[in-house]
Amino acid sequence: MINTGKKLEEIISMLNNFRSEIGALSSLGLLNINKHAENFIKRILNLTFNLELDNLNDGKSNYPGLDLGDTYQNIAFQITATKTSEKIDETLKTCLKFKHYEVFSTIKVFILTSKQTSYTIKTNTEPHFLFSFAKNIIDFDDLFKTIEHLDPIKMNALFEYLKIELKQTVDALHGNDIELNECLLETVKTRDQLGLNNHCHWQANLKLISEKISVPEIHRRLNEFLPNAATKNMYLATFNEILRKSHSRTEIAYESNPEGTHDENYYYGNALQIRESSISIERVNYTDREIFLNLLPEMISLITSILFFAKYAKGNFEIEITIQFESNTTLYFNPVRSLVHEQVFNTFILDSPFNLALSISDVHVETLTDLLQKIMDAFIAKGTSIISSNPFFEVKRDTTGFVIGNIKSALDVQ
């Protein structure tokens, strides 16, 4: 196990590497990098300063000039790669113009590169709020001073978060087509609360891009599509009003507390989010050993959501799908009761992290089978087998197609 001092060194190294990536891309004029960095930085600031920051650019809020905010502790941040005095003045003028100080009494600017040694700020923010460049403008060097004094549990949570998310965020900065999505479940925090070491996290995001469907309409239609508790439990178990965590006209969130299984020290949690024209599904498994998954609940909920959008779309449709799948330990595919194969002659492990982005415009059995094959491409053979020398997992298309056909019939989708 890595000790606290070593973890601190690795945290500083990882964040300095991230800062270097930001600096290089910023010098090329790629200012949109801030959008990719906001959610990544949000979790880091929350862990470091014990905050509950939300992304203010997610469509639910209207705070021009600000990116992250905690309405409980009344603090907000702008996240930027531009470190100049002019940029700070511009931010402060915007905050005064829109009276953000009425909600956020403390406003800070986080510089993704390195802040200047001094600033000439012309904007007077008093008496509305105090702003000092020495205290309210921070960068990674300031962050390191606080991280150094974190308790071991928080430092470990930050260390694990960076190991999981840093590579994907950097890939996005370099133009990866897969847009990173904010997670609903706090994987590392929950895992630590359970006293376990290992987890795997699955997230599937679906967006109907051919038309707009409001959140209330999706909610009504989902209840028509899955008309009783038994059907919901079979095809989209988290769509259960008992599990509803929050709701508004723009978002409904469902989340189940970690549930134990017949295996000792093995838990799982689920989440579902509905936004305009989109459904997001998450599932996390927690344990203290290696993980074996058949991906049955993940695939069933994914196919169900696809069929839902296909059934209620008006005419031709296009569904954009992104999948993120990662584990911090060895994850084996278990064929027992799986949707894609009943028996395999080799051992297949997840090549983590795995990202997939694609769109579909029909729900033919062949199309959905192809989708499941692309998901199973995340698994590679651990070694060679006398019976099978294939290094990749092959979906058994006939039985998989048969099951998909049965799901379509049960949900009355042609």
Q: How many whole angstroms separate alpha carbon 337 and alpha carbon 295? A: 9
Query: Tens-digit pLDDT profile for the chain (414 aa)?
Result: 467 788 999 999 999 999 998 888 877 766 566 566 788 899 899 999 999 898 887 655 578 889 999 999 999 999 998 899 999 999 999 999 999 999 999 999 999 999 999 999 999 999 999 999 999 999 999 999 999 999 988 898 899 888 878 887 887 777 654 555 567 788 778 888 888 888 999 999 999 988 899 999 999 999 999 999 999 999 999 999 999 999 999 999 999 988 777 777 889 999 999 999 999 999 999 998 889 999 999 999 999 999 999 999 888 899 999 998 988 888 999 988 999 876 666 788 888 888 888 899 999 999 999 999 999 999 988 765 555 566 888 899 999 999 999 999 999 998
Q: Whole-prediction pTM value?
A: 0.62
Q: For residues 379 and 346, is the Cβ–Cβ distance under 8 A?
A: no
Instruction: For Cα atoms 180, 184, 185, give the angle at the middle one, nearest 5 degrees.
Output: 115
Q: Rounded distance, CA 181 to CA 326, Å?
A: 13
Task: For the sheet with 137-138, list strands across it.
Answer: 54-55, 68-70, 75-80, 106-111, 137-138
Query: Tokens 């650019």 label which residue?
Result: 57
Q: DSSP 3-state assignment of 26?
A: helix
- Cα dihedral 170→25→86→102 (10° resolution): -20
Instruction: Give the integer Cα–Cα distance in Å for 356 and 374.
Output: 8
